[in-house]
Amino acid sequence: MLRLLSSISFAYGAANLRRRIRVMARQAILLAIGAVILLYALGFGLVTLHIWLSSLWGSLVSAGVIGAVLLVIGLIVILLALRPHREQARSVEQPLSEMSATAHDTYDRMQRSLRQSGSPLANPVVQAAGIALIIGVLLGRR
């Protein structure tokens, strides 16, 4: 029975992993195509800005203004990337320590119940989880 459960869960996990990889690959391809299109749009926008500014001030001044604005934007982005990160609030660390203590307490209780009963399959939680797994696999089939 345990071998059947492990093989079913392994097959289900492998199918789920293949589906996730397909979805992630599709998303990566669409993101790459979108990024290329955005770069082309940015290039056309800069060329249009240059043509418009060159009609107002001349081509050399237009190129200088566009270059200076791009330089300032690039420096701002670099400074934002290099700024030191703030420490997380202590309120974030407190629930993590509580969860760790709860998980440790649960693990200790499970170890005690295993020592008392002798078999992990005698644990009602394990039995309920196994039944739920089998029902989920059977209902999840198409």
Domain extent listing, the chain: 15-81, 104-142
Q: Give the number of other CB atoms < 10 A from CB of residue 50.
A: 15
Query: Residue 94 has what pLDDT?
Result: 62
- pTM score above 0.75: no
Rounded (10°) CA dihedral 80, 86, 91, 94? 120
Query: Residue 91 has what pLDDT?
Result: 56
Q: Tell me the C-alpha distance between 48 and 35, whole Å.
A: 20
Query: Residue 29 has what pLDDT?
Result: 94
> Chunked in runs of 10, what are the mean pLDDT values of the chain (142 residues)?
64 80 92 94 93 92 92 91 71 64 74 68 74 81 67
Coil, helix or strand at residue 135? helix
Q: Tell me the C-alpha distance between 79 and 71, whole Å.
A: 12
